[in-house]
Amino acid sequence: MSNDIICLGKSTLDLIWPLESLPGKGGKFIARDFIQLGGGMAATAAVAVSRLGRKVAFYGRAGDDAAGHAMLDELAGYGVDVSQFRLFPNARSSVSGILVDKEGERAIANFRGADIPDEAHWLDLDDVAQTHAVLVDVRWKEGAVSICAKARAHGIPTILDGEIADLDIYDALLPLVDHAIFSLPGLRSYGGAVTNHLQILQKVREQGCKVAAVTMGAQGCLWIDDNGVQHQAAFGVNVVDTTGAGDVFHGAYAVALAEGKNTVEAMRFASGVAALKCTHYGGRAGIPDREEVDAFLAEQFC
Ligand SMILES: Nc1ncnc2c1ncn2[C@@H]1O[C@H](COP(=O)(O)OP(=O)(O)OP(=O)(O)O)[C@@H](O)[C@H]1O
Ligand SMILES: [Mg+2]
């Protein structure tokens, strides 16, 4: 059975040690806990899609090592189809070690992984024509270009999570993407010398994107489409942890598009899901299910 949505891109593993305070120098420190969590934009978006009740696959790559298997098992545990999450022998997965103090301040050491092949010829794209939306991030250019080209050929909507990346990735991807939704740092890096957000979004539209958007945390989401400049406010919630809010926003937006919602409806739905995520700890454990989202949105006036 085919999936409603395919998410392609980054998967990482975070190893987290909560401490009383961050070390100022070397030594041995007792952690209050130890937490191992999968991360990565497209991978966490896939978990959000699954939590919202849609069938989803994650297409990606990592090393055939302990971290790779941990990521794969976690995604599968969330109900994500991992048949095209490939673990490469002799390659090493991306892993972060994170020390976090009582105030939530973090010291992060990231290993980006090694010897993971860039080429995407092994991807089986036969299922793309049967899906209802494709979401990619900026961390695997070759894979994203292949799947977006195939989706475009079949009229399947494509969504991009625009985080900070080299310009050549945007030059390759934007002409194949229908909905380019940047984070604020991602938009600024793409804009370069242009600092006005609306001007940068206009530049994104000129690459062929129907919707050019930027999420701005508690300031909500701003976008330009054929109807002009529009804004969705962030919902007021009791914020506990914003980790993964952007990833979850993108997954929820893909769900909305796959269900035939228009851009205004999709932005509102994604904002509601992301806001509810912020009321819980953790990028994935805090993702709400459909019932919670529907009940929450029914009570909102914006
Ligand atoms: N404090 C908040 N209160 C309510 N909603 C929030 C808050 N922070 C984020 N959101 C929601 O999540 C969306 C995405 O957040 P944000 O712009 O911070 O993503 P991001 O920069 O990509 O972060 P990341 O990728 O690290 O999750 C926002 O547009 C908003 O709808
Ligand atoms: Mg983001």
How far, in Å, CA of 129 to CA of 3, rounded?
Answer: 10
Answer whether residue 136 shows pLDDT above 90.
yes
Ion ligand 2 neighbours (CB, 5 A) are 183, 246
SS3 for 193?
coil
The mean predicted confidence, pLDDT, of the chain is 96
Answer whether residue 302 shows pLDDT above 80.
no
Answer whether residue 242 shows pLDDT above 70.
yes
- Once rounded to an integer, what is the mean pLDDT over residues 218-242? 96
- Residue 133 CA to ligand 1 center (angstroms) comes to 22
- Once rounded to an integer, what is the mean pLDDT over residues 35-48? 96
Q: Where does the pLDDT of residue 103 fall: very low under 50, low under 70, confident under 90, or very high at 90 and above? A: confident
Ligand nearest to the CA of 267: 1
CATH number of the domain that residue 64 is part of = 3.40.1190.20
Q: Where does the pLDDT of residue 281 fall: very low under 50, low under 70, confident under 90, or very high at 90 and above? A: confident
* Structural domain total, the chain: 1
Residue 32 forms part of a structural domain: no
Residue 232 forms part of a structural domain: yes
Answer whether residue 283 shows pLDDT above 90.
no
Is the C-beta atom of 279 inside 6 A of ligand 1?
no
- Residue 48 CA to ligand 1 center (angstroms) comes to 14
- Residue 184 CA to ligand 2 center (angstroms) comes to 9
Q: What is the pTM of this model?
A: 0.96
**CA-proximal residue: ligand 1, atom 22 (nearest):** 246
Q: In what order do the strands lie in the sheet with 56-63?
A: 85-88, 56-63, 5-9, 133-137, 158-162, 179-183, 211-215, 221-225, 228-232
Q: Where does the pLDDT of residue 97 fall: very low under 50, low under 70, confident under 90, or very high at 90 and above? A: very high
- Residue 267 CA to ligand 1 center (angstroms) comes to 12
Chain-centroid distance, C-alpha 277: 13
**CA-proximal residue: ligand 1, atom 5 (nearest):** 275
Q: Which pLDDT score, from 0 to 100, does residue 301 have?
A: 77
Residue 261 forms part of a structural domain: yes
Query: What are the CA-CA distances from residue 112 to residues 43, 51, 59, 62 (Å)?
Result: 16, 27, 18, 10
Residue 31 forms part of a structural domain: no
Q: Which pLDDT score, from 0 to 100, does residue 9 have?
A: 98
Is the C-beta atom of 244 inside 6 A of ligand 1?
yes
Residue 18 forms part of a structural domain: no
What six digits make up the tokens of 113?
A: 């992984």
- Once rounded to an integer, what is the mean pLDDT over residues 187-192? 96
Q: Which pLDDT score, from 0 to 100, does residue 1 have?
A: 65
Residue 108 forms part of a structural domain: no
Q: Give the tens place of pLDDT for each residue, 154-187.
A: 999 999 999 999 999 999 999 999 999 999 999 9
How far, in Å, CA of 275 to CA of 296, rounded?
Answer: 10
Answer whether residue 270 shows pLDDT above 70.
yes
**CA-proximal residue: ligand 1, atom 20 (nearest):** 246
Q: Domain range spanning residue 292?
A: 5-9+40-92+115-298
Residue 46 forms part of a structural domain: yes
- Residue 197 CA to ligand 2 center (angstroms) comes to 17
Ligand nearest to the CA of 268: 1
Ligand nearest to the CA of 237: 1
Residue 109 forms part of a structural domain: no
